[in-house]
């Protein structure tokens, strides 16, 4: 109907003589051709624009790279550069970035190159890059990104500040360490740890969002890469209301062998989250917390199956002969194959018995239990 009215309206004299179906068909064809032409024009101009930007970007990138090379060479060869020298060189670079191109794109290109160089070069080069970043006012440019609505831009700004800016940026980044956006949050947390080496984990006090496994890997990588980071006692976050933070801290307690955390870890045996309980038991074993052995045995019946298995492994690591009686009893219960197997492994590891001694000591075991003992003495199997 619309095409019919359109046809009559555009060309009344011609179309009046034809049937409706013809008018509609001609109009549909005409409009399709028109739409195709418009789409092709949009694509064409889009590509021309993209090529122009590419050309401009390549040109700017080359120019910036050359100027940066000269600048870095000048900074390093002169040695004690005066503030005037620095201003002169910065002014020259500023001319390219602000006056010549007057573009955010070029300024961004300069930051990208500075960040690239900062990541790839140390010593004098690194210092010179930081000075330049400050003197060109690029720090403000990165800071402004923190106030945009787009999380990608915010994350980009944080990444730039982490690489280029001094410690004072850490406080600006702190609010984003609890952002609901995963990517922004992890970028901010990593940056905060990198910049605030004196108290790198203080953001954990306010983090209510989950610290997922891959965030933990990124943060761990950050901790191990930055030698200036002061490692705190992770004990203090074990009573956090955020289970993922507790798990992360338990992992770090194990890594840094913080045995002072043992009493707090013992308290976590009563935690409502099974994952936290599991991790705490694992940590107590790895820290060889002798005092935790009898407590874990006392709690044993209240634990889930996975926690029970973890207790049996932990007792093996703690390696006290006083646990053998309990482990032996768990093996003899045989209500669960995995528990019996794990218990026997621990008995073998702690007692140092031979296979013959064990079989003599446990005369009334069934065929399955015998098979478990044989399995535990098989040197080709390593659990």
Segment interacting with other proteins (CB under 8 A) among 66-74, 264-272, 314-322, 365-373: 66-74
Residue 65 binds to other proteins (criterion: CB under 8 A): yes
The first and second tokens of residue 368, run together, are: 């399955």
Q: Give min distance, CB of 72 to other proteins, in A.
A: 8
Q: Interface with other proteins includes 76 (CB under 8 A)?
A: yes
116: contact with other proteins by CB under 8 A = yes
**Tokens of residue 373, six digits:** 């003992």
Q: Which of 72, 191, 195, 289 contacts other proteins by CB under 8 A?
A: 72
Residue 124 CB, shortest distance to other proteins, in Å, is 7
Minimal distance in Å, beta carbon 110 to other proteins?
Answer: 12
**Count of residues of this chain found to bind other proteins when the rule CB under 8 A is applied:** 18
> Judged by CB under 8 A, does residue 131 bind other proteins?
no
Spatial neighbors of 172 by CB under 8 A, at least 6 apart, are 143, 146, 161
* Residue 37 per-residue DSSP state: H
> Encoding tokens for residue 307?
């926690």
DSSP letter, residue 98: I
Does residue number 123 form part of the binding site for other proteins (CB under 8 A)?
Answer: yes
Tell me how far, at minimum, the Cβ of 74 lies from other proteins, in Å: 10
Give, in order, the Cα–Cα distances in Å from 137 to each of 91, 100, 169: 11, 17, 14
Among 32, 36, 51, 124, binds other proteins (CB under 8 A): 124
Q: How far apart are CA 248 and CA 245, in angstroms?
A: 5
Q: According to the binding rule CB under 8 A, does residue 367 interact with other proteins? A: no
Query: In the complex with other proteins, which residue's Cβ is closer, 76 or 288?
Result: 76
* Long-range contact pairs involving 58-65 (C-beta distance under 8 Å, separation at least 24): 60/96, 60/101, 60/105, 60/106, 60/109, 61/109, 61/113, 63/96, 64/93, 64/96, 64/97, 64/106, 64/109, 64/110, 64/113, 65/113
Nearer Cβ to other proteins (109/229): 109
For position 331 contacting other proteins by CB under 8 A, the verdict is: no
**In this structure, are residues 179 and 188 in contact, taking their beta carbons and an 8 Å threshold?**
yes
Q: By the criterion CB under 8 A, which residues form the site for other proteins? A: 65-66, 69-70, 72-73, 76, 113, 116-117, 119-126
């Amino acid at each position: 109907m619309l095409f019919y009215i359109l046809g009559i309206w555009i060309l009344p004299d011609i179309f009046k003589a034809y049937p409706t179906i013809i008018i509609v068909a001609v109009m549909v064809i005409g409009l399709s051709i028109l739409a195709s032409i418009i789409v092709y024009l949009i694509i064409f101009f889009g590509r021309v624009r993209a090529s122009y930007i590419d050309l401009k970007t390549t040109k700017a990138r080359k120019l910036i790279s050359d100027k940066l090379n000269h600048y870095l060479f000048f900074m390093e060869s002169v040695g004690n550069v005066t503030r005037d020298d620095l201003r002169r060189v910065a002014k020259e670079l500023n001319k390219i970035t602000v006056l010549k191109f007057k573009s955010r794109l070029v300024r961004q290109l300069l930051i990208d190159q500075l960040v690239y160089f900062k990541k790839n070069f140390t010593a004098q080069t690194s210092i010179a890059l930081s000075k330049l970043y400050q003197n060109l006012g690029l720090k403000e440019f990165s800071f402004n990104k923190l106030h945009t609505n787009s999380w990608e831009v915010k994350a980009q700004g944080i990444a730039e500040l982490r690489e280029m800016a001094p410690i004072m940026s850490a406080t600006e980044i702190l609010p984003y360490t609890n952002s609901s956006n995963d990517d922004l949050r992890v970028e901010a947390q990593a940056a905060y740890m990198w910049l605030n080496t004196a108290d790198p984990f203080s953001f954990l006090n306010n983090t209510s969002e989950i610290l997922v496994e891959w965030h933990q890997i990124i943060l761990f990588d950050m901790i191990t890469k930055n030698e200036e980071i002061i490692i705190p006692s992770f004990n203090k976050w074990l009573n956090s209301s955020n289970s993922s933070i507790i798990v992360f801290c338990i992992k770090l307690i194990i890594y840094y062998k913080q045995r002072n955390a043992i009493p707090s870890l013992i308290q976590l045996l009563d935690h409502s989250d099974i994952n936290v309980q599991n991790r705490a038991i694992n940590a107590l074993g790895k820290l060889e917390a002798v005092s935790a052995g009898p407590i874990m045995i006392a709690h044993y019946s209240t634990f889930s199956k996975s926690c029970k298995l973890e207790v049996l492994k932990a007792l093996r690591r703690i390696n006290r002969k006083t646990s053998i009686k309990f482990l032996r009893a768990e093996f003899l219960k045989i209500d669960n194959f995995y528990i019996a197997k794990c218990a026997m492994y621990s008995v073998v590891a702690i007692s140092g018995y031979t296979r013959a001694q064990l079989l003599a000591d446990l005369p009334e075991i069934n065929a399955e239990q015998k098979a478990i003992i044989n399995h535990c003495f098989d040197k080709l199997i390593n659990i």
